[in-house]
Amino acid sequence: MWGISFGDGERIMKANKISKGTVVTGVIGDDVHVIGIRLLEHALELAGFKVVRLGVQVSQEEFVHAAIETKADAILISSLGGHAKVFAAGLREKCTESGLAGIRLYLGGQLLIRGMSWEDIGKMYKEMGFDRVYPPETKLSQAIIDLGSDLQA
């Protein structure tokens, strides 16, 4: 899911100075692809964020419950199976109904299996309430910089 290069380490460590917060991470739905989210979690911790790791095959309710319990600032979701639309639909509404109207939602990975342009995919998920949507080749450092910037706002 999340692209990484050897130059990312320095950028991630620099991101450590931007902002800190608590983030809930996991792979949504029936998806069991774990490598991308594990890399992201490690990079987030290096950057100074508290990471609440939910693992794979996480339901929307588990994301919301963990965010409430830990007073999280953001939920970062990974999906590589191409079915994120099915599993992520309605998450923003569940967050709002649970008192998490202001929580930041991030989604990244191989989000659809059909042939849409990345621009259209990103637009679709933003209309579903996600604050940031990342294609598979996104560098970890970019997501961390965005997260730090968003949480400062």
22-27: strand order across its sheet: 50-53, 22-27, 74-79, 104-109, 132-134
- 79 touches 2 (CB < 8 A): no
Q: Note the pLDDT of residue 4.
A: 47
Residue 3 has what pLDDT? Answer: 53
Question: Pick the catalytic residue: 33, 42, 65, 83?
Answer: 33
Q: Judge whether 49 and 17 are in contact, CB under 8 Å.
A: no
The two three-digit tokens of residue 42, written as one number: 């490690």
DSSP 152: H
Task: Over range 54-60, report the average pLDDT.
Answer: 95
- The answer to whether residue 12 scores a pLDDT higher than 70 is no
Average pLDDT value for residue range 119-136: 94
pLDDT at 70 over 60: yes
How confident is the model over 81-121, as pLDDT tens digits? 888 989 999 999 999 999 999 999 999 998 887 778 889 99
Dihedral sign (CA 83, 119, 74, 35): positive
The residue extents of the domains of the chain are: 8-152
| Pairing status of strand 132-134 against strand 50-53 | unpaired
pLDDT > 90? residue 72: yes
- Token digits for 94? 């569940």
Structure tokens at 47: 């950057």
Give percent helix, percent strand, percent coil of the chain, each to the nearest 5. 45, 20, 35
Q: Can you tell me the mean pLDDT for 8-15? A: 54
Superfamily of domain 8-152: Cobalamin-binding domain (3.40.50.280)
> Residue 127 pLDDT > 90, yes or no?
yes
Phi, psi for 137 (deg, rounded to 5) = -85, 10
Check residue 26 and give its pLDDT: 96
Catalytic residue among 8, 31, 73, 146: 31
Average pLDDT of 144-151?
94
Average pLDDT, the chain: 88
Task: Annotate 54-82 with DSSP letters as a single string.
Answer: --SSB-HHHHHHHHHHHT-SEEEEEE-SS
33 is catalytic: yes
Q: Band of the pLDDT at 18, cuts 50, 70, 90?
A: very low
